[in-house]
Chains A and B, each alone.
Chain A
Amino acid sequence: MIMVELADPGAFHAKTPRGDWFVSAANAGRLQEELGKSPFLALGGKEQAEKLGALADDGTLLYVPSDGSPLSLYRTINATRELYFRRGEKGNWVIGDHFRNMLASVPVDGRRQDENALLDFLLFIYPAGNSTLLAGIRHLVPGESRSLDAGTGEERSRQAETFPCEPVEMGLEEAVTELEEALRQAFGEPEGDECVLFSGGVDSTLALLFRPTGTTALTIGIDTPEFAFEGEYAREAARLLGLKWSLISLEESGYREHFEETIVNLGQPVHPNFQAVFLDRAFQESFGVFWGADTSDTLFGHPQTRKILDPESRKLYEALLAEPFDSPRGYGALSNTGPDFRIVQDLFGKEAVSGRIEARLSQVLAAAKVRPGSRVEEHVQMDSLVEFLTSTACVACCKRQAAAAFGREIREPFCSRNILRIASAIPPGKRFFHNGESKPVPKALLRKLFPEYPFYGKKGGSDIPRTRFCQSGPFRDFFRESAFPDLLPPRGKNSCWIPSGIGAT
């Protein structure tokens, strides 16, 4: 027997003469239409799954044929949606789109952490490859197509899609025009009850410019003094745009409670910055659809890109940049790891850490190609690909699951196939950093559409003041009253203690 659980309100079920479809995609309407067409229905089951997968934009598909032939699971390369699966003891399959549901489907005495759950969390936040936090629960990786024989348990997997690697080199001006058109299309869907998640930054401001006038800009903040400049930035951008702006401010004194609620709602641990907690609060607001602008930094260049594209600052990374782009010891492979890399290596051992780096690297190399160029250009592409395929996509999937926990939907237009294609067509030497500026293409578009935008104000993201939070803030003495992670090597307990006067890591 097969149990399918759909938490995302935007996912749909369709019955066709040959079986059942469970679909979630940004272009759900287009796929629904295809499912009703005679030429499509005349195809074999496997061909149907491949065709619908290729048509889907930011989507996942599950096809359960009624004749007992293998199930097809499909995840597009740009999906901000998960498809988890597990086979129970009696041979039944559970397939779902929300990790909390998968966790809840396992009796509590049968829940075992995956052997790498903690190591991956400390290194990358998100589990590498098909693994998840729990042994026995797996998920599709971006671009994967998998068939499952419900009777025998036999599985086959292949990389059905890879990240685009456009042969045409696009100039920056052309890229700006193409991005404008792609965003206009991706943000063009009519919605009613909606808001834009607004930080005041370049990407969420662009998002607002592509939605109808009067769309609410929703900002979540906190009364943490170190974060005050972020709120001011959003306020100023909202004022200049003349927005309908809604600000919800959390109190730091209640932060730990919010943090715990967020993790329970998701059924997953979260990145220890403010974002996950802010989103959990945002989705309690009574909008049906929340527009986001994730991924732009990853595709077009975040400020850290400067580290290796600027000739002065790259000197620190010369040894890593001298390695080939596909080396597990190179800059690209080691990018997007947590700030505690060395501590984690000391605790778990170099071999274990290298094994996980290689597991993540092989996932990325199977799903993407790097455009040949200088070593630096190749590594900066790898950095972006590692981030997109193993971090940004996971962040967006968690965001969708956080929304689903409150019956809400998110839209992530920057993840559309068109925008991936545009990003990959820009020469890497200009795409991420140009004329002293990161993310040159989205910034040029914003200058064109909204010249008054304050580009050079202080803007820092959603990082937490770690040292103070651990020494005297909401996480003071956390491990005096809470258990350590079961998989933490005993020596690791010392790394979690932050006595007063010693900096947090």
Chain B
Amino acid sequence: MTLAAAAFSTWQEKALKAHWIGRVPGTRVFLLETRGENANPEAWK
């Protein structure tokens, strides 16, 4: 079980709990408004 637990632990520490993990380079991002909304990326967060 050691290797499986090591894989999970690595994910937990280096991805899940990592502040710095960002989008995959080259990802295309589309912001769509639903009816009655104004698309405002600043309001996203």
Residues of chain A touching chain B, judged by Cβ–Cβ distance below 8 Å, are: 1-7, 9, 11, 13, 20, 22, 64, 66-68, 92, 98, 100-101, 103-104, 108, 111, 113, 118, 121-122, 133-134, 150-151, 259-260, 263-264, 267-272, 338, 340, 343-344, 401, 404-405, 407, 464, 466, 469-470, 475, 478-479, 482-486, 488, 492, 495-498, 504-505
| Bound-state Cα–Cα, A275 to B40, Å | 42
Q: Which residues of B contact A66 (CB under 8 A)?
A: 35
The answer on a CB contact under 8 Å between B34 and A103 is no
Closest Cβ–Cβ distance, residue B23 to chain A (whole Å): 5
Given known A-B contacts A482-B10, A482-B13, A483-B13, A469 and B3 have beta carbons under 8 A apart: yes
Task: Give chain B interface residues in 1-45, CB to chain A under 8 Å.
Answer: 1-19, 21-37, 39-40, 43-44
Q: Which residues of B contact A151 (CB under 8 A)?
A: 34-35
Closest Cβ–Cβ distance, residue A306 to chain B (whole Å): 26
Closest Cβ–Cβ distance, residue B42 to chain A (whole Å): 11
Residue of A nearest to B36 (CB): A68
Given known A-B contacts A2-B32, A5-B23, A478 and B2 have beta carbons under 8 A apart: yes
| Bound-state Cα–Cα, A497 to B5, Å | 10
The answer on a CB contact under 8 Å between A104 and B2 is no
The answer on a CB contact under 8 Å between A272 and B3 is yes
Residues of chain B touching chain A, judged by Cβ–Cβ distance below 8 Å, are: 1-19, 21-37, 39-40, 43-44
Residue of A nearest to B45 (CB): A107
The answer on a CB contact under 8 Å between A475 and B34 is no
Closest Cβ–Cβ distance, residue B15 to chain A (whole Å): 5
Closest Cβ–Cβ distance, residue A482 to chain B (whole Å): 5
Given known A-B contacts A6-B27, A100-B24, A108-B18, A484 and B33 have beta carbons under 8 A apart: no
Given contacts A151-B35, A340-B1, A407-B26, 11 further A-B contacts (CB under 8 A): A1-B43, A20-B32, A22-B30, A98-B27, A100-B15, A101-B23, A108-B18, A260-B14, A264-B15, A269-B11, A470-B3
The answer on a CB contact under 8 Å between A485 and B12 is yes
The answer on a CB contact under 8 Å between A7 and B5 is no
21 intermolecular pairs with C-beta atoms under 8 Å apart: A1-B39, A20-B32, A64-B32, A100-B21, A101-B23, A101-B24, A151-B34, A260-B10, A263-B11, A263-B14, A264-B21, A272-B4, A338-B4, A401-B24, A478-B6, A482-B13, A484-B9, A485-B5, A485-B8, A485-B9, A504-B3
Q: Which residues of B contact A504 (CB under 8 A)?
A: 2-3
Closest Cβ–Cβ distance, residue B13 to chain A (whole Å): 6
| Bound-state Cα–Cα, A13 to B5, Å | 39
